[in-house]
Homo-oligomer: A and B are copies of this chain.
């Protein structure tokens, strides 16, 4: 049985904690959160103990950590966990500062511990099946990737202010998916963006709607579109196009029921948000991490991916500021 520490007892921490509790090979030994009440409540549910970062990492029985605390704690926890020799699963991002993220990577590599980064979408059954079909040559040579990612509604402005902005916080997921699907590193990035959804987001210095274009050395291209609001639910779609055809992964719905009546033929809206859409992905992600610990396999998403995606987010911001395609 693998013993886990869970850093962060909030919404996403609870998801990971419950998945570990339901996993036949793993359990949560400790829960750590600055909010003692949250920590105590989740620990009770999971049969775990509340403790501090230091004590948790000092326990030699602990095999692995899950970092699901606030973004500004990620780098410190990664470094401390790596130095303590624990396998690391960290929610994205590594850090909002690229230099700091890179120094984390150095420490993780030096420690030689597995480090999986929470780019959950790669673990989604539909996206994964699309990527595997493409890898198996289903569409011949890949030429174009089109990624749609829209949240059902914008987060509070208080969150926007500490989020690092749309590119580092939201589009980073799509930039990771783009890299994964393109099969080559982007060498050119162009971004444009607007404040269309909520004026308060603009007042906070951020954008809420964005379109990005990537290009690789061999000429493959990718378009990404983002919006902080979609009234019909979480819109998460991928299209890959190549010399032998196209693969598309559509939204997931709660049911397959359709109603035909006066207003037309009506089917379900997409699953509401990431907790619903990516419920399976979170389970697959944990399994991938457990496999990495147990069998030494390389996690599907590592700290390097976190840094690459952050570099692309930085390039988007630079492109937005200069009106030019940024070369990488």
Chain A 216-230, CB-CB to B under 8 Å as 1, else 0, gives: 000111010101011
Instruction: Give Cα distance in the complex from A144 to B197, angstroms.
Output: 12
* Segment among A28-36, A71-79, A257-265 that sits at the interface with chain B: A257-265
User: Number of A residues whose C-beta is below 8 Å from B?
Assistant: 68
A219 closest partner in B (C-beta): B194
* Segment among A61-69, A110-118, A245-253, A282-290 that sits at the interface with chain B: A245-253
Instruction: Give Cα distance in the complex from A146 to B150, angstroms.
Output: 14
Enumerate chain B residues within 8 angstroms of A220, measured Cβ to Cβ: 194, 196
- Residue A138 CB within 8 A of the other chain: yes
* A325→B259 contact, CB < 8 A: no
Chain A 133-149, CB-CB to B under 8 Å as 1, else 0, gives: 10000110101101010
* B138→A259 contact, CB < 8 A: yes
Q: Shortest beta-carbon distance, A244 to chain B, in Å?
A: 6
Enumerate chain B residues within 8 angstroms of A58, measured Cβ to Cβ: none
Query: A231's contact among B244, B247, B256, by CB below 8 Å, is which?
Result: B244
Q: Shortest beta-carbon distance, A35 to chain B, in Å?
A: 23
- Residue A295 CB within 8 A of the other chain: no
- Residue A278 CB within 8 A of the other chain: no
Enumerate chain B residues within 8 angstroms of A196, measured Cβ to Cβ: 141, 143, 219-220, 243
Enumerate chain B residues within 8 angstroms of A262, measured Cβ to Cβ: 231-232, 244-245
- Residue A22 CB within 8 A of the other chain: yes
- Residue A190 CB within 8 A of the other chain: yes
Enumerate chain B residues within 8 angstroms of A325, measured Cβ to Cβ: 190, 192, 323-324
Q: A144-B227, A197-B243, A265-B267 are in contact. List 12 more A-B contacts (CB 8 A).
A: A126-B255, A126-B256, A144-B225, A188-B323, A196-B219, A213-B223, A232-B260, A247-B257, A248-B260, A249-B257, A263-B263, A264-B266
Can you give 18 A-B contacts (C-beta < 8 A)? Answer: A129-B254, A133-B257, A139-B261, A188-B323, A190-B190, A190-B192, A209-B221, A210-B221, A211-B221, A223-B225, A230-B246, A245-B259, A247-B259, A248-B258, A250-B258, A260-B269, A263-B266, A264-B268
Leading 9 A-B pairs by shortest Cβ distance: A245-B261, A194-B219, A232-B260, A250-B256, A126-B255, A264-B266, A246-B260, A129-B255, A323-B325
